[in-house]
Each structure stands twice: as structure tokens, then as C-alpha cells.
Amino acid sequence: MMLSSELADGIPVRQFFEGGAFADGLETYSRTHGVDRRAAASFWSLYYFSALSIPYVVARRAELALPIGIDEMTIALGDDGLPRAFGLPRVGDWCEIGAPTDIAMPLVTGHLGEVIARLKQHAGIAPKLGWNNAAVYIDYALNSTSTDPAAGPDPWPARELFEEACLPDGSPNPFKGCLRHEMEGEQIHCRRKVCCLRYMLPGIPSCGELCALPAQRKH
């Protein structure tokens, strides 16, 4: 992420989705790689959610709340049609770190909900797939930045986000059940609930043990 003033080719995120830029970027990626449009849209969203969520969570862990509202940001695409960079209107504000659900709630209410609705509208991506794609990167960022000492046989700093029924404001938690931990022998594996469809993309490797489809985990 960078300041919008430094992202010369960025356009407002809402304009990106409501105009033709999103459809054009998705078409560019689909045409270039000759893949199913729904699978392409899911893979496209992985780039979008990682570029949005990881810097935001890392900043929150450092007590800095970045302005990630959909009406505040700009976005730029690469030549391949995939998200390249986000622009922010200003640097963030100090905030308390909070629990995983506290950290995730601004993403849900201020940005992700609308984007996932656009993915369904323009590309036929089911919301449960969109939320699962976003969940993977939030989980990664929360676990990677946790300073809590490991405890118990299955320490999972982000666990609360995937087990709580509601967010702090009382609204349903869209991440509930998106990821789970399973024990196989003496090893714990994190698993998605919904497959991201990457197995339909030529030349794209499987996400391994994370995959929701047992048949795809060893590819």
C-alpha cells in the first residue's frame, strides 16, 4: 500500500467496481490465460484480498489503523489484469490492537462486504467462496504477527475469528467456519471450507494441505 498521491495510475476503488475497469481487468486475465471466468475471478480475488488484508492486519498489530474504507482508497492493476497496488488517502491513526474479531471488523464492514458482493454480481463468485478467499490472508497475517506465547497442543492465534458466531458489533461473523484445524497423525493442518478453484487454472499449483478438496492436496 502507498498514498494515493503516489499511485499515479490509481482510480477510486468504488469507481473501479461500478465502472468497467473491474470487468476489463478480469477479462484481460481470463483471455490471457484461457481459463474459466469464475476460476479466474476467484484467483483474481486472492491477489486483491492479500494486498488489502495483510498490510492492514500488520499495521493494526503495530497499533495503526489504516483507512481501508472502499470509498477512501484507489487501486491500480498490472498489465496482466491482476491487482498491483492500493492507494490510501493518508497515513493511519493510532488504535488499540484488539482481538482478532476487533481487527477484522473494519475490513468486513468497510470494504470486504461490498467487494464480495461485486464478485458475485460480475463474476458469479458465491459469497462463501469470497469470504473464504479473504479469510486465508487474514489468518496468515494474524498468526504471523501474534506476540502471544504458544499454548496448548494446537496454538492458533486467529482461532477466535473462525469460531465466534458474531463480530463485536453483534452482526454475523462471515468468517465463522471458513478455516479449521484438523489433526492427521501427529500433524495439524489448516483447511479451507470452500475450494478456491485454482485447480481449474493451467500452470497454477495446488494450495496443498490447505485445499478443501482432499484429492487436490497432493498436487
> 110-139 burial, b for 16+ CB within 10 Å, e for fewer?
bbbbbbbebbeeebebeeebbbbbbbbbbb
pLDDT, average across residues 144-157: 79
Q: Which of 194, 214, 207, 69 is nearest to 130 (CA)?
A: 194
- Is 176:165 a contact under the CB 8 Å cutoff? yes
Q: Which of 97, 74, 92 is nearest to 14 (CA)?
A: 74
- Is 68:95 a contact under the CB 8 Å cutoff? no
For the entire predicted model, the pTM comes to 0.92
Confidence bin at 34 (pLDDT 50/70/90): low
How far, CA to CA in Å, does 100 sit from each of 154, 167, 199?
17, 10, 30
- Is 66:3 a contact under the CB 8 Å cutoff? no
Q: What residue type is 193 in one-letter code? A: K
pLDDT digit string, tens, across residues 77-123: 888 888 899 999 998 899 888 899 999 999 999 999 999 999 998 88
Q: In whole angstroms, what is the distance from residue 43 CA to residue 198 CA?
A: 7
* CA 215, chain centre distance (Å): 24
Beta bridge partners of 181: 190
What is the pLDDT at residue 20? 82
Q: Which of 211, 51, 33, 67 is nearest to 132 (CA)?
A: 211
Indicate the DSSP class of residue 85.
E
Confidence bin at 54 (pLDDT 50/70/90): very high
pLDDT, average across residues 157-180: 95
The answer to whether residue 28 scores a pLDDT higher than 90 is no
What is the pLDDT at residue 169? 94
Confidence bin at 149 (pLDDT 50/70/90): low
